[in-house]
Chains A and B, each alone.
Chain A
Amino acid sequence: MNAINQSGWKPEMVGEGRHDVKTYTGNKALMLEEPLIFEIGNNSTTGVDLAVSPKVISRLGNLERHRDIALPGLSEPEAVRHYTRLSRQNYAIDLGFFPLGSCTMKHNPRLNEKVARMAGFADVHPMQPIETVQGALAVINELAVWLIELTGMHGVAMTPKAGAHGELCGILCIKAALEARGDKRSVILVPESAHGTNPATAAFAGFSVENIPATSEGRVDLAALKSRLGPDVAGVMITNPNTCGLFERDMKAISDAVHAAGGYVYCDGANFNAIVGRVRPGDLGIDAMHINLHKTFSTPHGGGGPGSGPVVLSEALSPFGPLPFTERHADGHFSLVEEETAGERHPHSFGRMTAFHGQMGMFTRALSYIMSHGADGLRQVAEDAVLNANYILRSLEDVLDAPFAHSGPCMHEALFSDDGMAEGFSTLDIAKGLIDEGYHPMTVYFPLVVHGAMLVEPTETESKATLDQFIGALRSVAERAKAGDPLLKSAPHHAPRRRLDETQAARKPILVWREPEQAVAAE
Chain B
Amino acid sequence: MRYLPLTQTDRQAMLGFIGAKSIDDLFVDVPAEAQLDGPIHGLPNHASEMAVERHFSNLARQNMSASHHPFFLGCGAYKHHVPASVDHIIQRGEFLTAYTPYQPEIAQGTLQMLFEFQTQVARLFGCDVANASMYDGSTACWEAIGMAGRITKRTKAVLSSGLHPHYVSVAKTMAKYTGDTLDTAFPELSAETDSARLLAAIDGETSCVVVQYPDILGRIEDLSAIAAKAHEHSALLIAVVTEPVALGAIKAPGEMGADIVVGEGQSIGVGLQFGGPYVGLFACKEKFVRQMPGRLCGETVDAEGKRGFVLTLSTREQHIRREKATSNICTNSGLCALAFSVHMTLLGEKGLRGLASLNHALAVRAADRLTQIPGVELINDSFFNEFTLRLPKEARPVVRALADRKILGGVSLGRLYPGVNALENGLVVAVTEVATAEDIEAFAAALQEILA
Contacts and interface: CB of A to CB of B under 8 A. Distances in A.
A359 B63 contact: no
A164 B139 contact: no
A133 interface: yes
A373 B46 CA distance: 4
B232 interface: no
Interface in B396-452: 399-400, 403, 408, 411, 415-416, 418-419, 433
A125 B79 contact: yes
Contact of B79 (A70, A72, A73, A123): A123
Interface in B295-347: 295-304, 306, 308-310, 312-313, 315, 317-325, 327-336, 338, 342, 344-347
A120 B345 contact: no
Interface string A302-335: 1111111000000000000011000000000000
B105 A131 contact: no
A121 B97 contact: no
23 contacts: A36-B112, A61-B220, A87-B89, A87-B94, A111-B52, A113-B91, A120-B65, A122-B272, A161-B139, A298-B3, A302-B338, A351-B169, A355-B164, A356-B77, A360-B275, A364-B56, A384-B6, A390-B14, A408-B28, A460-B3, A460-B4, A501-B302, A512-B130
B308 A82 contact: no
Contacts of A167: 328
Which of B164, B264, B382 has the most CB atoms of chain A within a 10 A radius of its CB? B382
B351 A48 contact: yes
Contact of B99 (A86, A103, A376): A103
A323 to B, nearest CB: 8
A29 to B, nearest CB: 17
B170 interface: yes
B220 A500 contact: no
Interface stretch (B182-190, B197-205, B249-257): B249-257
A199 B317 CA distance: 12
Given A73-B349, A384-B6, A498-B302, A204 B274 contact: no
A278 B177 contact: no
B212 to A, nearest CB: 12
A502 B315 CA distance: 12
A47 B25 contact: no
B403 A355 contact: no
Nearest to A276: B40
A56 B364 contact: yes
Given A113-B91, A372-B52, A464-B6, A71 B352 contact: yes
B30 A135 contact: no
B60 A355 contact: no
A72 B128 CA distance: 17
B70 to A, nearest CB: 13
Contact of B173 (A83, A119, A352, A440): A352
B196 interface: no
A136 to B, nearest CB: 5
A161 B27 CA distance: 31
B429 to A, nearest CB: 12
Contacts, number: 718
Nearest to A280: B36
A480 interface: no
B94 A95 contact: yes
A51 B358 contact: yes
A317 to B, nearest CB: 16
B2 A372 contact: yes
A283 interface: yes
Contacts of A519: none
* Tier of interface size on chain B: 35 or more
Contact of A129 (B47, B99, B403): B403
Contacts of A302: 90, 95-96, 98, 334-336, 338
A68 B92 CA distance: 32
A319 B351 CA distance: 49
A380 to B, nearest CB: 6
Given A90-B94, A111-B49, A252 B352 contact: no
Interface residues of A, number: 206
Interface string A253-281: 00000000000000000000001011110
Nearest to A270: B330
Interface string A282-294: 0110000000001
Interface in B12-61: 13-15, 17-20, 23, 25-31, 33-36, 38-40, 42-47, 49, 51-53, 55-61
List the 5 closest pairs (A to B, CB-CB), nearest first. A73-B348, A120-B60, A356-B275, A302-B335, A61-B382
A466 B4 CA distance: 13
Contact of A107 (B3, B23, B278, B315): B3
A267 to B, nearest CB: 13
B106 A435 contact: yes
B355 interface: yes
Given A63-B250, A125-B73, A374 B47 contact: yes
B419 to A, nearest CB: 7
B118 interface: yes
B30 A305 contact: no
Given A50-B355, A172-B173, A355-B264, 10 more contacts: A53-B354, A59-B380, A71-B347, A73-B349, A118-B60, A247-B27, A298-B3, A408-B29, A435-B106, A501-B302
Contacts of B372: none
A98 B93 CA distance: 13
B138 interface: yes
Contact of A371 (B25, B52, B123, B130): B52
A201 B289 CA distance: 21
A85 to B, nearest CB: 8
